[in-house]
Amino acid sequence: MADELTAGGGEALRFRTDEAPEEPVVTLDAFLASQSDASAVRLEAGEDARKLIPHLGTIALIEVDFPRFRDGRGYSAGRILREAGYEGELRAAGDVLVDQIDFMRRCGFDSFAPDAPIDPATMQASIERYAFHYQSDAIGSVPVWKLRHG
Partner 1 sequence: MYRYDKYDQAIVDARVAEFRDQAARRLAGKITEDQFKPLRLKNGLYLQLHAYMLRVAIPYGTLDSRQMHMLAHIARKYDRGYGHFTTRQNIQYNWIKLEEAADILAELATVEMHAIQTSGESIRNLSSDQYAGATADEIADPRPWAELIRQATTFHPEFSYLPRKFKIAVTAANEDRAAIRLHDIGLKLVRNEAGEEGFEVYIGGGMGRTPFVAPLIRPFLPADHLFSYIEAALRVWNRNGRRDNIHKQRIKILVHDLGQEEFTRQVEAEWQEILKNGSDVPRAEFDRIAAYFAPPPFETGLSEEVDRSDPDFALWLDQNVKAHKAPGYAIVNISLKPVGGIPGDASADQIDLMADLAKQYSFDELRVTHAQNIVLPHVRKADLHTVWQALHDAGLAEANLDLISDIIACPGLDYCSLANARSIPVAQKIATRFADLGRQRELGELKLKISGCINACGHHHAGHIGILGVDRKGTENYQLLLGGSGAEDASLGKITGPGFSEDGIVEAVERVTDKYLEVRENGERFLDTYRRVGFEPFKEAIYG
Applying CB under 8 A, which residues contact partner 1? Answer: 45, 69-73, 75-77, 79-80, 83, 97, 99-100, 102-104, 106-107, 119, 122, 125-126, 129-137, 144-145, 147-149
22/148 with CB nearer partner 1? 148
**Shortest approach of partner 1 to residue 6 CB, angstroms?**
21
Residue with Cβ nearer partner 1 (38 or 63)? 63
Give the nearer residue to partner 1 in terms of CB position, either 39 or 124. 124
CB of 101 to partner 1, least distance (A): 11
Residues 6+ apart with CB under 8 A from 139: 105, 106, 108
Q: DSSP readout, 95-141?
A: S--GGGHHHHHHTT--EEEESS---HHHHHHHHHS-S-BSS--TT-P
Q: Minimum distance from CB of 90 to partner 1 (Å)?
A: 13
Number of residues that make up the chain: 150
The CB-of-126 to partner 1 minimum distance in angstroms stands at 7
Q: Which is nearer to partner 1, 23 or 142 (CB)?
A: 142
**What are the phi and psi torsion angles at 135 (to 5°)?**
-115, 155
Q: How far apart are CA 108 and CA 89, in angstroms?
A: 9
Asked if residues 101 and 108 have their Cβ atoms less than 8 Å apart, the reply is no
